[in-house]
Amino acid sequence: MVPVLMLEAEPHHRVLDACAAPGMKTTQVLDMLHRASDMPKGFVMANDADGRRCSMLAHHSRRMRSPAFIITHHDATTLPAPPAEAPELPGFDRILCDVPCTGDGTMRKAPHLFRKWSPAGGFGLHPLQLRIALRAARLLRVGGTMCYSTCSLNPVENEAVVAALVAAAKGALQVVDVSKRLPELKRDAGLTKWKVMTPDLKLFESHSEAVAAGKTSVRPSFFPPSEEEATAMGLPHCLRLMPHLGDTGGFFVCILTKLKDLPEESEQDELAELPPAPAKKDARGAKRPAAAMEGQEDDEAAEIAAALVEAGAVVGSKSDLPKMIKDDPFFQLLGEEVAGGADTVKQICEFFHLSADFPAKQLFARNAMAQKIVMVSPSICHVLVSDVEREFKAINSGVRVFEKCNFMSAGRACQFRVMQEGVRLVAPYMQARKVQLTPADFAMALAEKSLAISKFEAAAAQSGLQDLSLGSVVLHCEEPVTGETLFAVAEKGHAHDEARFQTKEKVGFIQVFVEKDEALLLLQRIDPAHPALTSAKAPVAKTGEKA
């Protein structure tokens, strides 16, 4: 997507997606960070104020399978600053502010929005958008890049916000000329002049004109600065993606860079004009920005409040997390909070013969029981460990690498098994319980899921599996075309099953634990003509998903 491409994120960057749900842009940023490694130096923090949308992000995070990813649940206007990895590098390197908006640029694909559209939407959202952008600018490090974007074409939500942001920054922010980036992308320049339409569909060219007509809901920041000021601010460098230019939806993008620290809030008159955090409730019972409503005509106030609710930009009951989503803190397994965490790590390392350079300090759990263990990147580890005051409400982070096994537990030396979603992160350190298969045997294991060890054709695979004790095992083979190593987690067990294995003796068998869709994707890469693929349509790999 255009905003992410314009950000030009690198694998070492600390990236914030301030209003992340549903997560498509977040996924694209993660892909950019993972271009060179499964464990990038940077990370992506995906934040959203809406609890239900956080739940959607958490669902998507499972298929992203990135250790450099954390989901937080905060009002973007008060998001805490991340712990600095070094005193000279505070804040984020890249910030994406795809703010809540009226969405009028999406009417081609969502024509029902036209019936609900009103100028009141832009009036209500403008202060919130400016608050989010100002907070993001404060969290951006000096020299960093920030993208402000909407799927609206209303200048009150776009150029007006950028102009107010640049003015409030007092020289700390500069709009970047990105005309040379994506040269084939058809675009229009940002506006330097526009009129403001009030909810009763009347147009005004200046704030004084609107006030004279009794329009007290109109703010000075809705209107354009002088043409000279607009040009000096860099408004023409903004991008307007118009539907008729590229047969797309409408979109607005502005790239800014931070030249120096922003002045203190007390020094900024512009900030004093912004409404405080949402406090009052409208007729629907939803909270709305109190100061945005003060002094407005009742009908306009109600219309603006309704538009905010429609845009999902108010803090109401939706801010609460669904019951299945938790914001419990993450505890480092080698930390003091997890009783027996060090013993658990030792048991896992010994069972799988993990090499000495295995990053055990990057293992975390959500509770003292440590039933599910995730691995995070070093940068996320620093954020979680340094957040002593628990300022960040982390919803999800890391990749599940180990989980306590509550089945096939008899006779196991280790109660933890390797998880398929995290096997790529663990397998390189495993010096035991990792068995290489031929493509034919690997395909057979994926197709049958449960099979006797004696059924494998390669003698090396049979002997390697027979020699193992009961418990988790990682199967792997090289893809015939690219030579890439593919993995499948499994469990070795013993069973008496005369009907199945044609013998009364205890039989060693392998149970593969790979979800159906992923198993089909792996089969497709190993043997595109495999019979199992003819009876089940192989799914298309989703963005960010690794087989």
Distance CA 451, CA 444 (A): 9
400 has which bridge partners? Answer: 374
Structure tokens at 73: 């649940």
- With a CB cutoff of 8 Å and minimum separation 6, the contacts of 540 are none
- Token pair, residue 270, equals 């512009």
Q: Which CB contacts under 8 angstroms, 24+ apart, belong to 334-339?
A: 334/360, 334/361, 334/363, 335/385, 337/368, 338/365, 338/368, 338/370, 339/368
On the CB side of 219, how many CA atoms lie within 13 Å of its CA? 25
Q: Give the Å distances, CA to CA, from 261 to 143, 204, 257, 264.
A: 10, 35, 11, 9
Spatial distance between the Cα atoms of 161 and 130, rounded to a whole number of angstroms = 6
Q: Would you call 151 a catalytic residue per the annotation?
A: yes
CA distance 62 to 542: 12
Residue 212: in which H helix or E strand, if any?
Answer: helix 207-212
- 140-150 and 14-17 beta bridge pairing: unpaired
Options 147, 151, 238, 381, the catalytic residue: 151
- Report the distance separating Cα 363 and Cα 123, nearest Å: 46
- The SS3 call for residue 32 is helix
| Catalytic positions, written as ranges | 151
